[in-house]
Amino acid sequence: MGWRSPSLPLLLLLLLFLSCLTCLVEGATASGFRICAYNVQKFDSVKASNYRVMHTLTRIVSRCDICLLQEVMDPDGKAIKALLASLNRETDRYEAKYSYASVSSKSLGSSPSDMQQYVFIYRKETVNVTGQHQYQKKQSFVREPFSVQFQSRKTAIKKFILVPLHTEPRQAVQEIDRLYDVFLEVSKKWNNMNVMFLGDFHASCAYMTRTDKKKIRLFKSAFSWLIKDKVDTTVTDDTNCAYDRIVVHGETFLKKISPLSANVFNFGKEFKLTRTKVLEMSDHFPVEVRLKSSAHLLQATPLLTLLGASAIVHSFLSAL
């Protein structure tokens, strides 16, 4: 008996199956768990009363499972309360079906006119706070890091610590180096080496040079700088500086980061806003990174692949 060509429908079925499988794997990998950091520049009750600002800020924050806001000047909590109300309002305009909460440091700084807070906004459905810690050595920082430990069932790494820092520009090198001391303190406190540092470090241009890196312990091999030196995190054309950074400790944490997911979020381009409206928000863009998901779909993929491929191959051979 001569060999017969397999039927076209079976070939199309095989191609369709492989295409769908690829989409499922890529989709599960790309979705991830987004962590963001944004210097929102003097965010107070007055700024929160600006509808256009609040609308844009809500759109920015609602993209993130956790969003660190810096330069928050809100001692009575009214501005953050207004932001949470906007995020939790039932509407189709923002990321749907999430409810948001916040955890905040006290007001920090050396000048009564420039007291700032670190504020984490997070989705209650995807993550929860398991601990918080205010660094106490005031001589080390102008705005001491306020570390928070989070836990999530949605991420490949279940517990991790976020350490924010908004440096005083002229002390940037010293403050970034002292983050190593914060790392030692919080990793011991929670017995957790999965630590991420994030925020406006002023880690570029005149504030941190290539020579300065030799003085900074966070440039040891155990730490990975995910936002690179040549990235511009600023809005204006006058500056081209990687001020805002994300740094993770250890291979374990690094392997749980989605590859190439650390980026600047140019919301002006994404939301089609003029430069003037972007600068109304801040002279910084947010930075972000994604953690790999717990990937139940990916864990089931080998079995699904085997069963699906077996069925298709059986049908394919039967047609010969």
Tell me the pLDDT tens digit for each residue of 63-116: 999 999 999 999 999 999 999 999 999 766 555 589 999 999 999 999 999 999
Confidence at 166, pLDDT banded by 50, 70, 90 = very high
Domain boundaries, the chain: 33-298
Alpha helices in the chain (DSSP H): 8-31, 45-48, 51-61, 78-88, 172-190, 251-255, 267-271, 275-281, 296-318
- Asked if 196 and 253 touch (Cβ cutoff 8 Å), the reply is yes
- Phi-psi domain of 299 (left: phi exceeds 0; alpha: psi -120 through 50; beta: other): alpha
Tell me the pLDDT tens digit for each residue of 169-215: 999 999 999 999 999 999 999 999 999 999 999 999 999 999 999 99
SS3 at position 318: helix
Query: Measuring CA to CA, how many Å separate 74 from each of 118, 135, 155?
Result: 10, 20, 31
Class of domain 33-298: alpha beta
When pLDDT is averaged across residues 262-267 and rounded to a whole number, the result is: 98
Query: Measuring CA to CA, how many Å separate 102 from each of 36, 120, 128, 210, 281?
Result: 14, 5, 10, 36, 20
Q: How far apart are CA 57 and CA 49, in angstroms?
A: 12
Going by C-alpha positions, the residue among 210, 277, 209, 201 that lies closest to residue 245 is: 201
